[in-house]
Amino acid sequence: MNGDALVWIVLFLSIVICDYVAVYLYKQKRFPLWLSAIGMALLVPVIVFSFVSVGVSYNNIVGLEPDDTGEGVAFAGGFIAVVLGLHSIIVFVIGAIVSIYNFTRKTQKVKKDHVL
């Protein structure tokens, strides 16, 4: 397995796990999606640092080429950070829209009940 496949696997698994937890908490515990997005954004550096540190240590142990400095792992970590950060922003915007929609729907229902 080459490094590109590993980057895509880490990225895919990170997004799937974070989205699953966010949706599960939203449906079961009524935890807002926008707050889950903030949690995802706070986890981005942890995920990226873990990936880069494992990649650099693997590169140092294996040492395929003597002049290899391992900057490809850093570029991959930067790519993962950007994609996960953008994903967190998208989930935050969706969560804010859902929260505003639910709030306006509840206030309209309350106003409708008072009119009757």
Residue 1 has pLDDT above 70, yes or no: no
Report the phi/psi class of residue 68: left, alpha or beta, with left for phi > 0 and alpha for psi in -120 to 50.
beta
* Predicted model pTM: 0.81
For residue 3, the model assigns a pLDDT of 72
For the chain, give the mean pLDDT: 86
Q: Which amino acid, one-letter code, is at 51?
A: F
Max CA distance (Å), the chain: 80
Which of 22, 12, 58 is CA-nearest to residue 42? 22
Q: Give me 95's structure tokens.
A: 């969560």
The answer to whether residue 56 scores a pLDDT higher than 90 is no
- What's the rounded Cα separation, in Å, for the pair 38 and 112? 34
Q: For the chain, give every domain's residue range.
A: 3-115
Q: State the pLDDT at residue 84.
A: 93
